[in-house]
Chain A
Amino acid sequence: MKKLSFLLFVFIAANFSILAFHVYAAKEPPAPPAEGSPLPVMKLPVPEKPEEKNYLGLKDEGTFTIPQIMAKVVIIEIFSMYCPYCQKEAPTVNELYNAIENNPDLRCKIKIIGIGAGNTPMEVDVFRKKYQIAFPLFPDVDYSIHKVCGEVRTPYFIGVKIDENSTNEVIYSKLGSIQDANQFLELIIKLSGLKKEGP
Chain B
Amino acid sequence: MAKKSIPILVSIFLLLFASLSHSTSEIFKDYIYQPGTLKSIDSKPRLKVGDKAPDFTLPSISGEKISLSQYRWKKNVVISFVPAAWTPVCSDQWPGYNLAKDIFDEHSAILLGITEDNIPTLYAWTKPMGDLWFPVLSDFWPHGQVAKKYGVLRSTGVSERALFIVDKKGIIRYIDVHDINKRPPLEDLVRELEKLRN
Contacts and interface: CB of A to CB of B under 8 A. Distances in A.
A117 B22 CA distance: 8
Interface stretch (A45-53, A150-158, A178-186): A150-158
B21 interface: yes
Nearest to A126: B100
Interface in A107-126: 117-118, 120, 122-123, 126
A156 to B, nearest CB: 8
Contacts of A176: 26
Interface string A126-148: 11001000000000001100110
Interface stretch (A67-75, A77-85, A97-105, A161-169): A77-85
B9 interface: yes
Nearest to A78: B23
Nearest to A86: B25
A95 to B, nearest CB: 19
A28 to B, nearest CB: 14
A84 B95 contact: yes
Given A118-B23, A120-B187, A84 B129 contact: yes
Contact of B23 (A2, A10, A80): A80
Given A24-B17, A118-B183, A143-B21, A154 B26 contact: yes
A143 B23 contact: yes
A87 interface: yes
B38 interface: no
Contacts of A6: 1-2, 5
Nearest to B25: A83
Interface stretch (A13-21, A35-43, A187-195): A13-21
Most interface-central of B22, B99, B186 (chain A CB within 10 A): B99
A21 B12 CA distance: 11
A78 B23 CA distance: 10
Contact of A153 (B23, B95, B102, B129): B23
B9 A13 contact: yes
A169 to B, nearest CB: 25
Interface centre among A2, A78, A122 (most CB of B within 10 A): A122
A22 to B, nearest CB: 11
Contact of A82 (B1, B12, B16, B92): B92
Contact of B186 (A10, A126, A142): A126
21 contacts: A2-B1, A5-B2, A6-B2, A6-B5, A17-B9, A80-B92, A82-B95, A82-B96, A83-B26, A84-B130, A85-B27, A87-B99, A118-B22, A126-B103, A130-B102, A142-B21, A143-B22, A143-B23, A147-B21, A151-B21, A153-B26
Given A17-B12, A17-B13, 14 more contacts: A80-B92, A82-B92, A82-B93, A83-B23, A88-B27, A117-B23, A126-B99, A126-B100, A127-B99, A130-B102, A151-B21, A153-B26, A154-B26, A155-B26
Interface of A: 2-3, 5-6, 9-10, 13, 17, 20-21, 24, 78, 80-88, 117-118, 120, 122-123, 126-127, 130, 142-143, 146-147, 151-156, 175-176
